[in-house]
Structure formats: structure tokens, C-alpha cells
Homo-oligomer: A and B are copies of this chain.
Amino acid sequence: MNVKANGTPVRVALMGFGTVGQSVARILCSGEMPGVQLTHIFNRDVERKRVDWVPASVTWTDNADDIVSADVSIVIEVVGGIRPAYDWVKGALQSGKSVVTANKQLMAHHGAELLDIARAKGLEVRFEASVAGGIPVLRALQEGLAGDRLVEVRGILNGTCAYILSRMESESISFADALAAAQKAGYAEADPSEDLDGADAAAKLAIIAAVGLRRPVRVGDIATKSIRPIESVDFMYARELGCTIRQVARASAEDNGEVFAAVRPALVPLSSAFGRVTGSQNLVTVRGVFGGETSFSGSGAGGSPTAVAVVSDVLSIANAGSRPPAAAEPTVYHKVKGDFVAPHYVRFTVNDKPGILASITAAYAKFGINIEGVLQLPKFKRDRLPFVTTLEECPESVLERALAEVAKSDYHVVAPLALPIFG
């Protein structure tokens, strides 16, 4: 069904004509990809979207049913969001079309079901563009490192957070100012919650865990923490420790069948690959039992790199032999835990008075947490004094219990901020 027969180009429909969709159309209409032919474009309010550089033979429509019933082999979905994209993708598969999507939320929440439908019909669903934009990391994990057993994935998967945190680092500006700059530069949306609070990275992490670690997890089971409480002073203290701060998504396959998975801001060494990520770059590092560590980095966002990933998936389906239908394998979701065992950085902001450090260290001692050091930089006001304790390795859940005890005291001006330190 999907194979080019005697040199006829494979017919392709495009759903969504926003930034990514337009970049996809540009590549498909560039003359560089003779094996595939764009035949349909769907968008709401399609009349205002029409452009003159698309061949006249292309059918424009604002009716999704036109795509589901079209005479095409491959449907590209770059509309985004779970509904109605889910219904359209499912409909396309059920009517015998393979699908290429850039939709991380769709694949994180419904990927297992959609892949099962495709398998049962001998079709394909490909979704390289849903993770890390222009970096072909899913293919690398699934095929390029197939000869290894991957046990850990760490990544900087959200370009908005990467942009904001590296601006805070390099310019010593506040979170609010960095967010405003990101919005102005087009790196953050008007409602940036999905990026800042970790849902975007969690969806990507769920996809990577399923493909790379071969352990599907429910995206809702992944613990996330927001980068919003990070302050400029945290970068000053991090630098004292040879570190900076990044939003890190991390998953590992545990021997007991569970998956450790979490997304949160963390201290990373300035000298590490994670510390060196700047701008809106993405980074994925994987560790296998045989081959050790491999890293992939590149543009994580933007219409063009994402469009390249989409078109590469289209070509991969167009060039592959058709595959026989296969029985759907029931997806087993793995149990997820998110309790980091790591050294920690804890920043307190207090109205200074005698006995504060004593009360904090007493709480740590009560929970068996060892202090590695205390850092207090000069020149802060006494009524809003930030200082930091660094702690030896302990489970995050234990630290949270200790901090809940500390939080009862009246000297806090800002709630304590705990960040794991990744070596």
C-alpha cells in the first residue's frame, strides 16, 4: 500500500498548515523529494492559509473527512493537541493510511493504541518529530543502538526551559525577565505552563522510555517539578559548586521491571554536556549495558528542523517495503517511580536570626541526612538572606519530609528550594 510502484510518487496529505506544516510543505514542494507528492492540505479556515508556492494540483480543504477519505498513502498530522488529532489519526489508520505525526501529547497518551491499530493493518505510525525536533534520536535509539540494551536516558528536552535557564545564567536576570524575553523571542507561548512545569518534557520522556528503554509508561505517572521557583541567586550558588541549572528529564529501566522517570530542574556540572547546552538546544544522552554513553544534540524546536524530521519519516515509509499485518501486542505499562536518590542542593531564604542553621541541621539529622556543606555568599540583606546547604546522597522523599518539618518555622521568606545535583 505504501510502496512506490514503478516510480509513481507516493501521495501524501498534510493536516495542519502552521509553522511546522508550512515548512513541511516547503520541503515537499522543493523538488528535492521526487519520491513523494503532496496532494492535500487541511487547515481550519483554509482560505486564509492559501499560498502561491504550492502547486495548483494540491487540494485545499477545511474538512478533515476529506483527508481521511483521500486517495493518499500517508497522512502527516502537525495540528497538535490530543483532540481532535486523535480522532483524525485513528480515522486515517482505519482507512488504510500510514501516519507521520509531530504530536508528542498524542503519542505520549495514545501512542500504544495507535501503534497497535497500525500493526494490525500492516501500516506505520512514525513520530520522530515529536521528540527533540531535528535530532533523529528515536531512530538512533530504536535502530542505531538496537545492538545494545539501553538502561538510562537523560535529556534536555524542552527548548523553552533551556532558553530561560541559560538566559538567567548568562545575564543574571530574574525568572520573570527571562520568561518575558523568551516570549518576545518566540521561545515561550502566552501560556507557558506546559513547558515550565514539565508536562512537555514528560510527554517526550514517556515516548523515549517506550522506544529506547522498551518500557511504556503512563505519562501521568511521571513526576514533574516546575522551574518557576528558580531564582537568579540559585545560579550564583550553583556556580560556586561548579554547576549550573537545567530542566533535566531522566528515565532508567530498573532491574525489578519498574521505570524511574522524572522531570525537574537540577544542578548539572558546568563542564558536562548538560551544563554546556545553551539557547534552545536539545540534548539526549543514553547509556547502554554494552556500549556506554552516546549523546545527540541539535535544534530542539523550530519549524524547519521539525519539518525535516517529519519528511524523513515520510520518506522512510515511502521507501520501505509494505509489511504484513501483525497481531497487536498488548501494551504493558510499567510501574513508574520518581524518587531521586541524589546529592541535593537546598536553598533557604530567611529573615535572619540566631538558631536557624541549628534548627535546619537538626531536622536533617532527624531524617538521617548528611550535610556536605553550607554556602553563604556575602552582601545579601539580613531580612531576605539566601543561603544553601548541600547534602550527601539521599532519597528525595526523605528530604521532602525533613523540609516539611523545617517549613514549620517562621523565619522563611520564600519556601525552601531543593534541587538534585547530577554528577
Contacts and interface: CB of A to CB of B under 8 A. Distances in A.
A308 B291 CA distance: 6
A298 B308 contact: no
B147 A310 contact: yes
Contacts of A299: 291-294
Interface stretch (A83-91, A135-143, A248-256, A332-340): A135-143
A27 interface: yes
A315 B147 contact: yes
B146 A311 contact: yes
A147 B307 contact: yes
Contact of A290 (B273, B297, B307, B316): B307
A302 B290 CA distance: 11
Interface string A103-144: 000000000000000000000000010000011100110011
A297 to B, nearest CB: 5
A381 to B, nearest CB: 35
Contacts of A32: 149
Nearest 6 pairs of A and B residues by beta carbon: A136-B144, A147-B311, A291-B308, A294-B298, A147-B312, A291-B305
Nearest to A281: B295
Given A136-B140, A140-B144, A144-B140, A291 B304 contact: yes
A386 to B, nearest CB: 29
Contacts of A313: 147
B146 A315 contact: yes
Nearest to A140: B136
A349 to B, nearest CB: 33
15 contacts: A26-B290, A27-B147, A27-B148, A32-B149, A134-B294, A136-B144, A145-B312, A147-B308, A147-B309, A147-B310, A290-B308, A291-B299, A291-B305, A292-B299, A294-B297
A290 B276 contact: no
Nearest to A302: B292
A26 B32 CA distance: 43
Contacts of A298: 293-295
Contacts of A273: 297
B323 A134 contact: no
A290 B139 contact: no
A377 interface: no
Contacts of A144: 128, 136, 139-140, 309, 312
Given A139-B140, A146-B315, A308 B296 contact: no
A9 interface: no
Interface string A252-283: 00000000000000000000010010000000
A160 interface: no
Interface residues of A, number: 47
A310 B297 CA distance: 23
A143 B139 contact: yes
A173 to B, nearest CB: 21
B136 A316 contact: no
Nearest to A310: B147
A294 B305 contact: yes
A288 interface: yes
A7 B313 CA distance: 28
A166 to B, nearest CB: 13
A323 B139 CA distance: 21
A81 interface: no
A33 interface: yes
Nearest to A33: B147
Nearest to A132: B294
Contacts of A148: 27, 308, 311-312
B293 A146 contact: no
A146 B316 contact: yes
Given A294-B299, A323-B321, A143 B312 contact: yes
A210 interface: no
Nearest to A138: B144
**Residue of A295, A297, A308 most packed against chain B (CB within 10 A):** A308
